[in-house]
C-alpha cells in the first residue's frame, strides 16, 4: 500500500463504531464495484473530486484510519496509482487534526480526557466552563415573522 496519513485510535476512545464515527464527521460510505471494497469519502463541493478518501482497519484494541486526498478520477490504467492523490501534506494533515478534534470532544462528553490523562473532565457539563445551567429557567423562543427573520 502507498504511504498515507494514518490515525490510530484506541477502541475505548470511540463511543461509536468506526462507520458511525466517520458519518458523524461528514464522511459517506461508497462501494467500489470494481474492487468490491467499501470506503468513506468527504467531498468539498457537489462535484465528486477533489475529496478526502478514508479506509479503516479494525485491529484487536485499535482502529487505524487511513486517509488521502483524491484530486481527480482515474484517467489511466495500468499505473501504480489508480488516481491522482495526495498521501500527505498540509491539507491531509489538517483533516487528521479535524478528526482528532472530534475524538477529543467525544471523549470529553464521555468524561474522559485524551489531552491530559491525569485530569478528569466534568462529565455533566464538559467544555462549557464553570457555569451551571441546570437551575436556569428555560426561556421560550420568541416567534418571529418572516419579515423579522430576514431583516431583523
Domain residue ranges in the chain: 1-152
pLDDT (tens digit, 9 = 90+) per residue, 1-36?
A: 344 588 998 888 888 899 999 999 999 999 988 888
Residue 22: what pLDDT? 94
pLDDT (tens digit, 9 = 90+) per residue, 78-134?
A: 544 455 777 788 899 899 999 998 888 877 766 654 444 333 333 333 443 444 444
pLDDT (tens digit, 9 = 90+) per residue, 39-59?
A: 999 998 889 889 999 999 998
Contact indicator for 38, 19 with CB cutoff of 8 Å: no
pLDDT of 71 above 90: no
64 confidence band (pLDDT: 50, 70, 90): very high
Tally Cβ neighbours within 10 Å of residue 101. 11
pTM of the model: 0.64
SS (H, E, C) 83-133: CEEECCCHHHHHHHHHHHHHHHHHHHHCCCCCCCCCCCCCCCCCCCCCCCC
Contact indicator for 71, 83 with CB cutoff of 8 Å: yes
Amino acid at each position: 500500500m502507498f504511504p498515507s496519513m494514518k490515525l490510530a485510535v484506541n477502541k475505548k476512545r470511540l463511543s461509536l463504531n468506526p462507520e458511525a464515527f466517520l458519518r458523524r464527521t461528514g464522511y459517506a460510505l461508497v462501494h467500489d464495484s470494481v474492487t468490491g471494497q467499501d470506503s468513506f469519502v468527504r467531498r468539498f463541493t457537489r462535484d465528486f473530486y477533489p475529496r478526502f478518501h478514508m479506509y479503516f482497519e479494525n485491529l484487536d484494541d485499535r482502529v487505524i484510519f487511513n486517509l488521502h486526498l483524491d484530486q481527480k478520477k482515474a484517467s489511466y490504467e495500468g499505473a501504480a496509482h489508480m488516481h491522482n492523490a495526495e498521501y500527505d501534506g498540509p491539507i491531509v494533515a489538517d483533516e487528521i487534526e479535524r478528526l482528532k478534534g472530534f475524538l477529543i470532544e467525544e471523549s470529553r462528553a464521555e468524561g474522559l480526557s485524551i489531552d491530559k490523562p491525569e485530569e478528569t473532565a466534568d462529565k455533566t457539563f464538559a467544555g462549557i466552563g464553570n457555569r451551571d445551567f441546570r437551575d436556569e429557567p428555560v426561556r421560550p423562543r420568541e416567534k418571529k415573522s418572516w419579515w423579522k427573520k430576514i431583516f431583523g
